[in-house]
Structure 1
Amino acid sequence: MTVKIQKFVPFNIFLWKISSRCNLNCKYCYVYNSVDSLWREQPRFMSEPVVRQTARRMREHCEAHNVPNVSLNFHGGEPLLGGVKYLKEIVAIIDETFAGSGIQLDLGLQSNGLLFTPEIGDFFLERDLSIGISLDGPPEVNDINRVDHRGQPTSAKLEEKLALLTSAPYELIFGGFLSVINTTVDPIAVIEYLLSFNTANIDFLLPLNNHDRRPPAKEIDADATPYADWLIQIFDYWFYRHTNTRIRIFDSIIRLLCGHSSLVEAIGLDPVALIVIETNGSLEAVDTLKTTFEGATKLEYNVGEHDFDTVAKDMAVRSRQLGADALCQKCKECPVVDICGGGYLPHRYSSERGFDNPSVYCADIAKLIRHIHAAVAGELNKQVLETVTV
């Protein structure tokens, strides 16, 4: 059945891969240690002509569709590999290109943090550029997977950098943590450690596995719920202590339960308005699809020859904007589909059925949603009773 998409959805989130190499060799890395090897064809850094052309294409696209606010995120590899001079050159080109447009740019960078310096911090403060740090928990947890190219732990050096980043004045640019879930470790130890840095945001990510490459702890039983059980412990700790830190997977589920939009691509049915630009200017819809099969991210577009409107009209992009119509039959019939959204696209993959599957984390997500629903409903009922009693 052919589904007709009624509305064109312009991009408002642009993820720039300004470096295609990394100073770490994380065991679970979806770029360098997964099934896709096309990173080897990428130049190490995004060149000045590619930066300039990408910025031009962005402005044209946003002006054509009256997009007033744009999120531009620098990724890699490790985006700090080029140093502060390289970052200043990139941002100067972007600022020059968008001058007079009236478009509000929200600039951010995702890093492993090991190359952070006061010079970089000062520039980020000057330009109001935020930095997020990838960190899985305390050293004994983080060093399980996040190692250097010699297989050595990295947490001791990172803690030195975090002491700098989370102190005045650099605490103003600290955007939060991105943390990959490891169900073999104590979730409370993880959340307490992350919260000890007074972070405003935490993203807990499910490992980038699928039906062909089952997640750890789900290799035998796909209906087991180790990830829900792990996250539920953190949710209860976070929710009942009224923690100020935003945990985006929890916030997104609560927002969706209340009829609002999600904050993350992996939850909910909201149209995805994100596009990825590689260091050579080629374009990808979802870079994490590198975990599914060789070449899964290729769209055959680049910023030199194609504008963003052309890319946005491609079915590989628009299929992420179909809502429930893009999901398998089991998902369409599921009572929590409006909240779950079928789960993250890479998690649905199998070589047998492509992406026409529920998420490999289906049972976990459903259990987590139901737990959060019960907790929120219980808290609301309690508040209503207290109001009536008063």
Structure 2
Amino acid sequence: MEHPPPPCAREFVVKVHSRCNLACDYCYVYEMADQRWRDRPVRMSAETFERTAFRLGEHVRTHSLDRVDVVLHGGEPLLAGVEAIRGFVAACRAATGGVARFSLQTNGLLLSEEVLQVLLDLDVRVGVSLDGTAPDHDRHRTRRSGRGSHAAVARGLEVLSQPRFRPIYGGLLCTVDLASDPVATYEALVAFAPPVVDFLLPHGNWTSPPPGVGDYADWLITVFDRWYRAAEPETSVRMFSEIMNVLLGGTSALEGIGTTPTAMVVVETDGAIEGPDQLASAFHGAAVTGLHVASASFDDAAALLAPAGLPLPCHDCEIRSVCGGGLPAHRYRAGAGFGNRTIYCADMFRLIQHVRQRLRSDIAALAGRS
């Protein structure tokens, strides 16, 4: 009898700095249920960097992996300084035999030619958070003084979008706000010529629902139609592309779309190994595993964090293979855990059905011409 292979993680989020130079009002790290960031080191120590690199190499060798993805995160990772990032990237590449691929998710405030040149030399891809137009972005993504951050982010993006830095331009991340015009939001993002746009639904759950649940489908459908019907391709919108991939018989690499198992491991600044940090939106300590890079392997973490599979209430749903039950953080209900439908169930159902109908109509039209 064959035994299934041991759980394996391929994506690692490393919190190199636990504080931020913005005070976004929707931040799941600082503004929601889990407040353990207050007791963590501000910056990851050299010893923890080294131990994390060692554990990464150990995991690669154990599973004979030809690639692992490491996301430098925070807080704001650039607050750690480019020399710390340079040292960690070098240590991980040495430990993994060069198979580690790096990206960095930033709020964009510290992007400059000098910083981007270092990241280009290191081949670290850069993703930037931008919430659309200046007024929409500044409504939520403010400095601690309350002043908006859009102008500073735009300056950084103007540098990042230059041909010189195009090889490391990872894309834009936008949190959906129902108060924002969907088309204006999309076009404000496309103005910076991103290779990819990620739309993030606000984190919430059945106990603490996000505002306007049930209305997100209309917002996303409007963006989808604008994106899909563009005369020339403008960018890739990952949520839409992955939904289409699954509808056409493929698989999804995006957490929260499809049923392909994904195991993400997070390393906090103190070396704690945890689950996806979006779980912080559910309850205090939701991502805790009790593991630490000093004493536990990433195999141990992968075994604990292996996806639980489709929630039981979703088993009879006609779009279950496309939705996959949504993000675990969005399934939580106090007293019932994470085995529920996503709080965005109705929104995702309508969006996926809309995309499916568009594809069917276009495929039928193409078939009629042949």
TM bin, normalised by shorter chain, reads over 0.9
Find the partner of 1:56 among 49, 54, 57: 54
Find the partner of 1:160 among 155, 165, 168: 155
Residue aligning to 2:130: 135
- Tell me the CA shift for residue 94 of structure 1: 2.0
8 Å CA contact retained: 1:68, 1:104 = yes
**Partner amino acid, structure 2, of 1:370:** Q
**Partner amino acid, structure 2, of 1:137:** G
- Tell me the CA shift for residue 90 of structure 1: 1.8
Question: Hey, what's the Cα distance between the residues in 1 that align with 2:81 and 2:339?
Answer: 42
- Tell me the CA shift for residue 352 of structure 1: 3.0
1:347 aligns with 2:337: no
**Partner amino acid, structure 2, of 1:213:** S
Residue aligning to 2:9: 11
- Tell me the CA shift for residue 243 of structure 1: 2.2
1:281 aligns with 2:264: no
Residue aligning to 1:191: 186
Find the partner of 1:323 among 295, 309, 315: 309
- Tell me the CA shift for residue 168 of structure 1: 3.2
Question: Hey, what's the Cα distance between the residues in 2 that align with 1:83 and 1:168?
Answer: 24
**Partner amino acid, structure 1, of 2:24:** C
Residue aligning to 1:38: 36
CA 1:301 to 1:17, structure 2 compared with 1: closer, same or farther past 3 Å?
A: same
Question: Hey, what's the Cα distance between the residues in 1 that align with 2:251 and 2:140?
Answer: 33
Question: Hey, what's the Cα distance between the residues in 2 that align with 1:43 and 1:349?
Answer: 28
Find the partner of 1:78 among 57, 76, 92: 76
- Tell me the CA shift for residue 92 of structure 1: 2.4
Q: TM-score, normalised by structure 2?
A: 0.96
Residue aligning to 1:334: 317
Q: TM-score, normalised by structure 1?
A: 0.91
**Partner amino acid, structure 2, of 1:152:** R
8 Å CA contact retained: 1:10, 1:62 = no
Question: Hey, what's the Cα distance between the residues in 1 that align with 2:156 and 2:111?
Answer: 6
1:253 aligns with 2:243: yes
| DSSP 3-state at the match of 1:80 | helix
Deviating runs (4+, > 6 A) in structure 1?
none
8 Å CA contact retained: 2:7, 2:299 = no
Find the partner of 1:150 among 128, 138, 145: 145
Give the share of equivalent positions with the same residue, in percent.
35
**Partner amino acid, structure 2, of 1:165:** L
1:381 aligns with 2:370: no
| DSSP 3-state at the match of 2:84 | helix
- Tell me the CA shift for residue 377 of structure 1: 1.1
Q: Which runs of 5+ in 2 are unaligned?
A: none
| DSSP 3-state at the match of 1:170 | helix
- Tell me the CA shift for residue 345 of structure 1: 0.5
- Tell me the CA shift for residue 323 of structure 1: 2.6
Residue aligning to 1:222: none
1:359 aligns with 2:342: yes
1:268 aligns with 2:258: yes
8 Å CA contact retained: 1:106, 1:129 = yes
1:62-90 superposed Cα distances (whole Å, 9 cap, x missing partner):
11111111111100000000222222222
1:298 aligns with 2:293: no
- Tell me the CA shift for residue 171 of structure 1: 2.6
**Partner amino acid, structure 2, of 1:279:** T
Q: Higher mean Cα deviation, 268-277 or 106-115?
A: 268-277
8 Å CA contact retained: 1:255, 1:261 = yes
Question: Hey, what's the Cα distance between the residues in 1 that align with 2:5 and 2:355?
Answer: 32
| DSSP 3-state at the match of 2:68 | strand
8 Å CA contact retained: 1:251, 1:263 = no
Residue aligning to 2:355: 372
1:233 aligns with 2:216: no
Question: Hey, what's the Cα distance between the residues in 1 that align with 2:101 and 2:89?
Answer: 12
1:184-222 superposed Cα distances (whole Å, 9 cap, x missing partner):
11100011111111110000011001111111113xxxx
- Tell me the CA shift for residue 15 of structure 1: 0.7
Question: Hey, what's the Cα distance between the residues in 2 that align with 1:33 and 1:285?
Answer: 18
1:173 aligns with 2:159: no
| DSSP 3-state at the match of 2:163 | coil
Question: Hey, what's the Cα distance between the residues in 1 that align with 2:7 and 2:174?
Answer: 30
- Tell me the CA shift for residue 96 of structure 1: 3.0
Question: Hey, what's the Cα distance between the residues in 1 that align with 2:235 and 2:362?
Answer: 19
Question: Hey, what's the Cα distance between the residues in 1 that align with 2:93 and 2:327?
Answer: 33
8 Å CA contact retained: 1:9, 1:271 = no
8 Å CA contact retained: 1:61, 1:307 = yes
**Partner amino acid, structure 1, of 2:199:** F
| DSSP 3-state at the match of 1:203 | strand
